Structure 1
Amino acid sequence: MARGELRIYLGAAPGVGKTYTMLEEAHRRAGRGTDVVVALVETHGREHTAAMVGDLEIVPRRTVTYRGARFTEMDVDAVLARRPEVAVVDELAHTNVPGCRNDKRWQDVRDLLDAGISVLTTVNVQHLESLNDVVARITGVGQRETVPDAVVRTAEQVELVDMTPEALRRRMAHGNIYRPEKVDAALGNYFRTGNLTALRELALLWLAEQVEDQLDRYRSDHDIDATWETRERVVVALTGGPEGDTLIRRAARIADRTKGADLLAVHVTRNDGLAGADPAQLARQRLLVESLGGSYHQVAGTDIPAAVLEFARGVNATQIVLGASRRGRIAQLFTAGVGVTTIARSGTIDVHLVTHEHAGRGRRRGPIPPALSRSRRLAGILTVLLGLPLLTALLKTGPSLSLTNDILLFLAAVVGVALIGGLWPALLAAIGGSLLLNWYFTPPVGRFTIAEAQNLLALAIFVVVAVAVSWVVDTAARRTRQAAQAGADAQTLATVAGSVLRGQRPLAALLDRLRETFALDSVTLVDDGTVVAGVGQPVCGRPADADIAVRVDAHLTMLIKGPTRPASDRRILEAFAAQAAVALRQERLATEAAAARPLAEANKLRTALLAAVSHDLRTPLASAKAAIAGLRSTEVQFDEDDRGELLATADESLDRLDRLVANLLDMSRLQAGALGVAVVELGAEEVVPRALDDLGPPSRTVIVHVPDDLPALHADPGLLERVLVNLLANALRYSPAGHPPMITGSSHGDSVELRVIDHGAGIPSDRWDEVFLPFQRLGDRDNHTGVGLGLALSRGLTEAMGGTLTPEETPGGGLTMVLALPTSAAG
């Protein structure tokens, strides 16, 4: 059975028209004869959206009872039994009520797709898992419902339903999205122009990335190597030389000319891994690339132009930045060089050949270390000085051989010398052997002349073969030594990396491991003369006080005290220094992040406070003002009943405003530690009735079981009354009809527990701590009801009186808040 196709309508914010557009597509498909059903559509009271459903077949929803409340969800089993060609499923980001087939709606959609049913669905950008935290920082509103990005990426089609912020705000103002009483708060908070612009850009960028992935898959499936200039991508090729910084900055400026362009740096290493660039230089250049917003890549290859072009075509690059050759003029006469070769092969990719101060100066290479040890080279020279005369004497005194045999014997001697002493002793043997052959064995004997041309050719071949063999043997020995050194370096770096990753402080672990590996006295990292980290004997921070000073960049230097290290260890020390710089940067970033976290939390609190105040204080104030304005109006005559109702509305609104302001002030006093607490003895049977009176008429639905013989409490009467009012108001809000909340009292040792019990939907135990955070409204279907300070303030006031406030699960469903206060005996 073929899997169904998924089509997603992506929007930047609620109200842009995702559901409407999805239903339009459903009608188009139905008009073409496709079997289409509406599995679930959320109209949210929008008339135009509801009318758009039209005559489409609707699969009835499933009713689920959970903790005394009734909810409706999509009936997946009914849709599967109906087996339409296309199912319309609105709001992909949704958590189903416990008891449904799946926990998440996107899992329901997956089941439909697996059954061969195509699905049309909708999702907003703030519900994408990868962007959820970004949207929360922009808007100040967190979204609990998320969809994994991988689910959305599996869609065959993702269509952006777009609308300008101004048009969306007009729709909001006309009442086409939210109910009129919510419009002002929405326009002043989530639907601000800046928020909508940012969300729109996020949606466009996210969709652009998905389009880019689809394009890459298409090019790969169709074996397309040519560059398609759909997006600027600038590749800068790095050799690890000193010109790298200039090239990176030049490439970054080229990329900055086009908004959204990508910067990629690539370094080509040799396939054999034995020779390469300075690792410290590459590490520094990698940091520079990443600081400019680019990415660093490393590929292997022997043909550098081919490797660079292959990488560039693989990432669909449009431009390549290369440095002018550092080779001298003589070297450039023999080979064209990487830059010229790359330009010749680049095809449609633009190549920038950037000059720099090191161009044409030649590659400064250090002296090539000998392949063999000094003792072996001396042994080779000694073999030449003793072996060649001995071989000559044996050939002169022994049986007479042909010149060809004599040459072969001398050639064997040269090979033996090469194996023992390397290149230079072998060259000495080749020269000496050719002279001895000429003097003793080539006619005319006893003279450095050659009578026959074939003898001249034989001696010439002898010299060429001897030199070639000597060179091959020496190169093999050098490669063997390089391989051993590279293996040792890799093992050392791997060991250090492991210890650093396992450590709590990477920088200290790295320096300590370096000191142990090379048996050093101390290793110190200095930033502009100031010691930032070190292990072992302290160093004052001056390079003169150290045995080895490794410069990391313009500011950082690693100072080393200890035994003198061979020159071959310099590269690995520089690699350690570069990694130490990275570790230092990470530690500093972590420190800055830790310092910024309280500021971010404070900013989040301020944002939430402003959002809450802008709506929750404005609503009762507007109601009171409207009621008083009506009473003062001379254009309308009210009877006594109407005047009484207006006065009651104004009184209730002002009471609500007073409670909100009091909660906000108390919360600020709690956070500032300036809340005054006057603890006295009082009875629970005294304070509970006052709290019920403060609640107003709804208090009649609260069941009270507080015994009169409870021990006296040690609490502040006003604060305790405030706590009980908040807890009871919260319980009344979430209690279903026919199941009123209850307050009970009991004594336990030196404390009295007052329990406020409701039988609502409850809150999962793993989220109990969240209900005590300011401005949280967990479980509210109406996200604009209440400031969300009640429980946070209640816990703070309770703890200020020396008590505790903890949640428990109500047997049979619901939430119980346990208020425990010390008795007068305990106080």
Structure 2
Amino acid sequence: QLVLGTSRRGRLARFLTGPGTGETVTELSGDIDVHRVTHERAGRGTLLPSRRRTLSTARLIAGPVAGLVLPVLITALLAQLRGTLNLTSEALLFLLAVVGVACIGGVASAVIASITASLLLNYWFIPPIGAFTLDDPNALVALTVFAVVAATVAAVVDRSLRLSRRSARATAEAETMSSLAGSIVRGEATIPALLERTRETFGMESADLVDEPPDAAPGLTAVPAGAGAWLALHGRTLSSSERRVLAAFAAHVGSAVERARLAQAAAEVEPVKAADRLRTALLRAVGHDLRTPLAAGWAAVTSLRSRDVTFTAEDREELLSTADESMAKLNRLVENLLDLSRLEAGALTLNLRATSLEEVLPPALADVPDVEVADVEAIPAVLADPPLLERVIANLVGNAARHTPPGRKVLVTASALAGRVELRVIDRGPGLPADGRDRLFEPFQRLGDTDNTTGLGLGLALARGLTEAMSGTLSPEDTPGGGLTMVVSLPFAAVPVGAEPSEQSV
């Protein structure tokens, strides 16, 4: 199938110059389907008015015809009114016809009308009637003045038409350049779009951007378009005025090329900047959050090994508990870092199987007090990796607990809809402004935390990564009445709980 644009030529132009590309392709298409689509330039010709002529093809044809026919019609009319009007009135009517012809076909048509009108006026209305002779000197002067006035009026009208044409072209050039410049500034016009616009504006066969000046060839016009770029147009030969406008087009194309180069350079630098920001954040976070539990555990173990101090059984138990909590916190931080690294590297292995919420909620909530669970009993099983889903829930509940005011509980609910289970972790904290949600799931972000004792800021980033690895989604919502709700959406399991898991790498 072929899709072609409707011709920009008007109906008369298509009639006079024959079928164009669209008509020819349609005629020769055979079994190929041809679709003709309209556009804003359909039937309106090229964008810039031509300087080569001031009149359309229709007016160039209609002008001489009117110059011959209109005086004859006026002669026939005045012949019926002979004796009613004097010679002056008859000459003025012929002069009016000449002016009308000048407006239609320009100075050449007006000359034809003036000669025709002079001959008819002499033959039919100036004595001796029926002969091309002038016996009265006044009649000779009147006929001469008539011819001069007619030619002068025709010249003035033709000059007015030329100036109007030039003004229209200048206006079209200004509008085109203004639109082109605006699209470049707004970043709307790509280089292929600019080349196509240039080709259509100048009515060329093709427009290309090349790195070196092309060799001279018939129908080839090349202008520089910035450093190391040339705009090459193939088709008709352009006039000097069109070359001037083309140079401005080439300057805009050069600006677009430079803009594209800068954008490409910025795109190449952005990953490096992002990695540098990530590395800086990691070093800053590790410098405190890994050192704090390490220092606490180290201090507890060092105290227990000291021979200078005698500890009671209660003191020893407290020191051992401190060391145990510190090592557990270190272990969780290191596991989060490793899991995030596996996610980013695509090396995390999943064991997906049918998993019920009753299976993963108890261990996920074991370390977080004051959690209320509701409406999870009748929820269908989801397709997930149980240990990873447990970690997702634990991270979300732990984050919600840090932001929940004293005396309030974190609420965990679930619902099933359209083949998916939505698990909601709801807190009644201060919530989060809309402008902070874009950074909510970035690593090493602790939005809303007022201290530096809450971990590396990997919990939500890891929770989203693990959820998406299991073909789920994690998104924030506002809690009615204040707070933040984290929604985990996972698909239903296609097999019953207890079936063999499917192992895959992400």
Q: Is the 8 A contact 1:684 1:706 kept in 2?
A: no
SS of match in other structure, 1:816: strand
Which among 185, 192, 208 is matched to residue 508 of structure 1? 192
Which among 737, 742, 745 is matched to residue 406 of structure 2? 737
CA RMSD of aligned residues (A): 3.5
1:478-535 C-alpha deviation (Å, 9 max, x unpaired) = xxx9999799557514413304534833433443343333333333332136xxxxxx
Are positions 1:674 and 2:344 aligned together? no
Cα distance in 2, alignment partners of residues 564 and 808 from structure 1: 64
Are positions 1:498 and 2:218 aligned together? no
Structure 1 residues 546, 692: closer, same or farther in 2, change over 3 A?
same
Q: Which has the higher contact order (CA 8 A, sep 6+)?
A: 2
Q: Is the 8 A contact 1:702 1:743 kept in 2?
A: yes
Structure 1 residues 817, 565: closer, same or farther in 2, change over 3 A?
closer
Are positions 1:717 and 2:404 aligned together? no
Matched letter for residue 387 of structure 2: G
1:69-107 C-alpha deviation (Å, 9 max, x unpaired) = xxxxxxxxxxxxxxxxxxxxxxxxxxxxxxxxxxxxxxx
Where does residue 363 of structure 1 map in the other structure?
A: none
Structure 1: gaps of 5 or more residues = 1-419, 421-480, 530-540
Cα distance in 2, alignment partners of residues 680 and 505 from structure 1: 50
Where does residue 614 of structure 1 map in the other structure?
A: 287
Which among 298, 301, 322 is matched to residue 625 of structure 1? 298
1:646-681 C-alpha deviation (Å, 9 max, x unpaired) = 221111111111111111111111122211111234
Where does residue 466 of structure 2 map in the other structure?
A: 797
Matched letter for residue 508 of structure 1: P
Q: For residue 807 of structure 1, report the CA deviation from its aligned partner.
A: 2.8
Deviates more, 1:730-739 or 1:505-514: 505-514
Where does residue 526 of structure 1 map in the other structure?
A: 210
Are positions 1:819 and 2:488 aligned together? yes
Structure 1 residues 769, 524: closer, same or farther in 2, change over 3 A?
closer
1:395-416 C-alpha deviation (Å, 9 max, x unpaired) = xxxxxxxxxxxxxxxxxxxxxx
Structure 1 residues 545, 645: closer, same or farther in 2, change over 3 A?
farther
SS of match in other structure, 2:398: helix
Structure 2: gaps of 5 or more residues = 1-151, 153-161, 497-506
SS of match in other structure, 2:350: coil
Q: For residue 739 of structure 1, report the CA deviation from its aligned partner.
A: 0.7
Which among 692, 707, 722 is matched to residue 365 of structure 2? 692
Matched letter for residue 684 of structure 1: L
Structure 1 residues 740, 490: closer, same or farther in 2, change over 3 A?
same
Q: For residue 791 of structure 1, report the CA deviation from its aligned partner.
A: 1.4
Structure 1 residues 753, 491: closer, same or farther in 2, change over 3 A?
closer
Cα distance in 2, alignment partners of residues 623 and 489 from structure 1: 80
Cα distance in 2, alignment partners of residues 526 and 764 from structure 1: 50
The total of aligned residue pairs comes to: 334
TM-score (norm 2): 0.58
SS of match in other structure, 1:704: strand
1:36-92 C-alpha deviation (Å, 9 max, x unpaired) = xxxxxxxxxxxxxxxxxxxxxxxxxxxxxxxxxxxxxxxxxxxxxxxxxxxxxxxxx
Q: For residue 710 of structure 1, report the CA deviation from its aligned partner.
A: 4.5
> After the TM superposition, which residues 552-571 of structure 1 pair with which residues of structure 2 at under 5 Å, given as runs?
552=225, 555-571=228-244
Q: For residue 763 of structure 1, report the CA deviation from its aligned partner.
A: 2.0
Where does residue 188 of structure 1 map in the other structure?
A: none
Q: Is the 8 A contact 1:496 1:510 kept in 2?
A: no
SS of match in other structure, 1:606: helix
Structure 1 residues 483, 602: closer, same or farther in 2, change over 3 A?
farther
Where does residue 640 of structure 1 map in the other structure?
A: 313
Q: For residue 690 of structure 1, report the CA deviation from its aligned partner.
A: 1.4
Structure 1 residues 798, 574: closer, same or farther in 2, change over 3 A?
closer
Q: For residue 741 of structure 1, report the CA deviation from its aligned partner.
A: 1.4
Structure 1 residues 826, 771: closer, same or farther in 2, change over 3 A?
farther
Q: For residue 775 of structure 1, report the CA deviation from its aligned partner.
A: 2.3
Q: Is the 8 A contact 1:715 1:801 kept in 2?
A: yes
Cα distance in 2, alignment partners of residues 722 and 764 from structure 1: 26
Cα distance in 2, alignment partners of residues 557 and 491 from structure 1: 25
TM-score (norm 1): 0.37
Q: Percent identity?
A: 50
1:301-357 C-alpha deviation (Å, 9 max, x unpaired) = xxxxxxxxxxxxxxxxxxxxxxxxxxxxxxxxxxxxxxxxxxxxxxxxxxxxxxxxx
Cα distance in 1, alignment partners of residues 191 and 358 from structure 2: 62
Structure 1 residues 520, 717: closer, same or farther in 2, change over 3 A?
closer
Cα distance in 1, alignment partners of residues 414 and 243 from structure 2: 77
Matched letter for residue 726 of structure 1: N
